[in-house]
Structures are given as C-alpha cells and as structure tokens.
Amino acid sequence: MHSEKIHWFKLVFRLRGSVIPAIFHRVLICGLFGFFISLLYHLKFPVSQPVFGNLVPSVVIGLLLVFRTNTAYERFWEGRKAWGTLVNNVRNLARQIWVAVIEVNPEDRESKIMTLRLLVAFAIATKLHLRAKPINQELANLISPAQFHKLKTMNNPPLEIAFWIGDYLQSQYTHGCIDAYQLVALQNLLNSMVDVLGACERILKTPIPLAYAIHLKQLLLIYCSLLPFNLVGNLGWWTGAFVALVSFIVFGVEEIGIEIENPFGYDRNDLPLNTICDTMLRNIEDLISLSPSVHAHAGNAKFTQSSN
C-alpha cells in the first residue's frame, strides 16, 4: 500500500512523459496576458467583467475536449490492436509453416527458417515505413543481401516482403509440400498481415478533420482570453497565476490528444514498437528450437495431389 502511495505522488510531479514541455509556451503567454490584465485593473481600467465567465459554456468546452480525447485515444488503441494482430498472425503463420511444410531436402529447412525471419522482417519494415525511415541494418540481419538491395528501390517495402512470403508459400504448394487448403489458410493469414499495414497507414495519414482541430483551438483561445476579465475582480494580482493554471488544464488535455493521435513515433506516449518487434523475433527463435514430429514421415507423405 505504502509503495503505491509514493508511486502516486511521484507520478503526479513527473515531467518526463507529461505534456508540460509541449504546452509551456502557450501557458506562459496566457499567464502573462492575465498579469497584464491585472496591471490594467490596478490602473483602474474597467477590465473586470464577471459576465464573461458565462459566455463560453464550459460544458461545450468540456465535451469537445473529451470528444478530442476519445478520438485520439481510439486511434492510439486501434493502432495498438493492429500491432497485436500482427504479433498474432506472425505467431500463427510461423507455427503453421514450421509444422506443416514438408522438408524433402536438408536445404528446405533452411528456406523455411529464412521465411520465418521474413515474417519478422515484415513487422520491422512496417515500423520503418510508418516512421518514414529508410530500411536499415536491423532489417539487413533478417533478409538476404539481394533482397535488401531490392527493397531499397521500393516505394512500400513491407508489400514486397509480403510478396516474397506469398511467393514462397505458392512455390511450396507447386512442389507438393503443402496442399491447397493449407495454402489458402496461410495466404489468409498473410492477407491479414497486409491488412495491418493498411490499418496503420490509415491511422497515420488521416488525422482528425482539420475543421475540428481549428475550431477547438479557437474555442480554447477564446476561453482563455476571456478568463482574466472574469477573474481579475476577485483575484487581483493573482490573476496571471490562475489563468496560467486553467490554461494548463485545458491546453494539456488538447495536447495529449495531439500527441497520441499518431502512436507510431518515438516519444514516451507512443507505442513500444521496438519492444514488440523484439518479442516477435524471440518467439520465432524459440519456435525454431522445437522440432515438429511430422517430419519423420516426410519421406512417405501422402497428399491428395500426389496420391495417384
């Protein structure tokens, strides 16, 4: 219980990961404007207007902020779900390839392992593609030099990796190492991986409609501009401090929305894509360390297409 208490108070004053650095300038400007109004008030200008407090209904501000928050969080969570689906599909596809594809020659196992690594390469290429980074060494360890060279010339590297995986599956089918039903099932899992790529691109490239973003910013600016006129009569010299406080609250909520709307970046509030890719690779390596029992029977495999 005690440790949890400390944790709570440690978190509340934490700067890293909070939005304070991002909104510092705006809050400062609001605070200075508040101070300026209290100066005018001190000089007997008629700036005290308590009625301003009711002009912008705080319920409208509140609801639009929450709409912004919900929307941004849903994108964050949808992005996370997409990556979760990617992890699941890589695991399922890898397990089924490992278990089902028959190894006739010793080099078949080698090409199998290379294909499993391609699955992880797909995830890493997706990560780099979403971050608009060129393909790099991280990827080079998982694919052949020829593939690496080819990828450099492509618009959308993950799509080419999906092509290679699909091509491997089709050629295993043509050689009679999997049958047609399994081919379709494995292709469906691959389709689902390409769907994840599309979902992430969609989240990345379609922000909240511009008109909302602008209108909300305008509302917040109007709200914070009217605030000192409302407060100065009661708070005097403290006006600046409290205007800064309120602007900190409302700009903070907006800023979080902006930050998590695109969850594929590098900062502390984004998705841990590097960790997810590492987990996938570890799972694949674990899988390769197990040996499937069916391969003992590979020599006399009886399949529909070779049964006659």
280 binding its own copies? (CB under 8 A): no
Distance CA 199, CA 263 (A): 13
Q: Among 36, 109, 170, 262, which residue sits at the site for its own copies (rule: CB under 8 A)?
A: 170
> Could you say which residues in the range 282-301 bind its own copies, by CB under 8 A?
282-283, 286-287, 290, 292-294, 297, 301
Rounded to whole angstroms, the Cα distance separating 243 from 300 reads 80
Do residues 154 and 140 make contact, with C-beta atoms less than 8 angstroms apart?
no
CB 259 within 8 A of CB 82: no
**CA gap 126, 308 in Å, rounded:** 44
Window 113-152: contact mask with its own copies (x via CB under 8 A): ----------------------------------------
Alpha carbons 188 and 192: distance in angstroms, whole number: 6
How many degrees, rounded to 5, is the angle at CA 256 between CA 250 and CA 261? 135
CB of 259 to its own copies, least distance (A): 6
Identify the sign of the CA torsion 144, 150, 155, 161. Answer: negative
* 109 touches its own copies by CB under 8 A: no
- Hey, which residues between 225 and 264 contact its own copies (CB under 8 A)? 231, 234-235, 242, 245-246, 249-250, 252-253, 256, 259-260
**In the complex, what is the shortest distance from the CB of residue 187 to its own copies, in angstroms, rounded to a whole number?**
6
Counting contacts by CB under 8 A, is residue 184 touching its own copies? yes
Nearer to its own copies, 54 or 274 (CB): 54
- Does residue number 211 form part of the binding site for its own copies (CB under 8 A)? yes
Six token digits for residue 35? 């101070």
- Is position 25 an interface residue for its own copies (rule: CB under 8 A)? yes
Residues 189, 191, 197, 198, Cα dihedral to 10°: -140
Name the minimum Å distance from CB 25 to its own copies. 5
Residues 45-104 that bind its own copies (CB under 8 A): 49, 51, 53-67, 69-71, 73, 76, 80-81, 84-85, 87-88, 91-92, 95-96, 98-100
Select from 42, 133, 152, 175 the one that contacts its own copies (CB under 8 A). 175
Residue the block writes with tokens 């674990």: 286
Query: From the CB of 159, what's the least distance to its own copies, in Å?
Result: 6
Q: Which of 180, 193, 232 is nearest to 53 (CA)?
A: 232
Amino acid symbol at 260: I
Stretch that binds its own copies, among 30-38, 119-127, 136-144, 170-178 (CB under 8 A): 170-178
